[in-house]
Amino acid sequence: MKLLKASALHRQIANILKKQIQREEFKPGDRLMSEESLAKYFEVSRATIREALKILEQENYVIAKHGSGTFISENAVFVSNTINQLRSTTEMADTAGLQLTSKTIALEVEFANEVIQEYLGLTDHGYVVRMERIRLF
């Protein structure tokens, strides 16, 4: 496969593999081709492939098992980029077979300033509850 010389080859390869994973061309637990096979396919060095796989591992798309190969992460969340297929975080976690939990970071009662009133469509000056949370897989 011919790659563009304008940008870093390892990033191009990482993006190509990432898109294949997102399109579910690979399933969680699938083993990727060997570094040598990927290098031949993309017509690059094994060092370039290692850099691409390092990016995918840092982004939790793959897991490298020394002596066994590189595998699609069981925790990879597969997200479609098309707007008409956007789903809630809960639905994506369910689809991926992951248990989703929430952690509350902040929970405060505060006065609703004019910006908040307008955004929420409030007519009187009152208080609102502000909650910050993170979703954990």
Task: Give the pLDDT of residue 48.
Answer: 93
Contact 99, 93 (CB under 8 A): yes
Same structural domain, 65 and 23? yes
Range of the domain at 94: 83-136
Task: Give the pLDDT of residue 54.
Answer: 94
The rounded mean pLDDT for the chain is: 84
Tally the residues of the chain: 137
Tokens 């009662």 locate to 109
Closest CA to 18 of 57, 74, 65: 57
Is pLDDT larger for residue 50 or for residue 92? Answer: 50
Give the least confident one: 3-12, 45-54, 102-111, 123-132: 3-12
Task: Kindly state whether residue 24 falls inside one of the protein's structural domains.
Answer: yes
The three-class DSSP label of residue 22 is helix
18: domain CATH number is: 1.10.10.10
Tokens 């909650």 locate to 131
Same structural domain, 48 and 13? yes
Q: Name the band, by pLDDT with cuts 50, 70 and 90, for residue 81.
A: very low
Domain finish residue from 28, 46, 72:
72
Task: Kindly state whether residue 78 falls inside one of the protein's structural domains.
Answer: no
Q: How far is CA 111 from the centre of its chain?
A: 36
Task: Kindly state whether residue 17 falls inside one of the protein's structural domains.
Answer: yes
Whole-angstrom CA distances from 78 to 14, 22, 47, 82 are 15, 5, 27, 12
Could you tell me if residue 43 is left (phi over 0), alpha (psi between -120 and 50 degrees) or otherwise beta? left
Q: Stretch 64-68: mean pLDDT, rounded? A: 90
0.95 exceeded by pTM: no
Same structural domain, 15 and 63? yes
Same structural domain, 48 and 90? no
Same structural domain, 68 and 91? no
Q: What is the pLDDT of residues 50-62, one digit of tens each?
A: 999 999 999 889 9
Number of domains in the chain: 2
Q: What angle do CA 97, 103, 104 make, to 5 degrees?
A: 150
Q: Name the band, by pLDDT with cuts 50, 70 and 90, for residue 82.
A: very low
Task: Give the pLDDT of residue 56.
Answer: 93
Same structural domain, 65 and 15? yes
Q: Stretch 83-87: mean pLDDT, rounded? A: 59
Closest CA to 72 of 81, 85, 59: 59
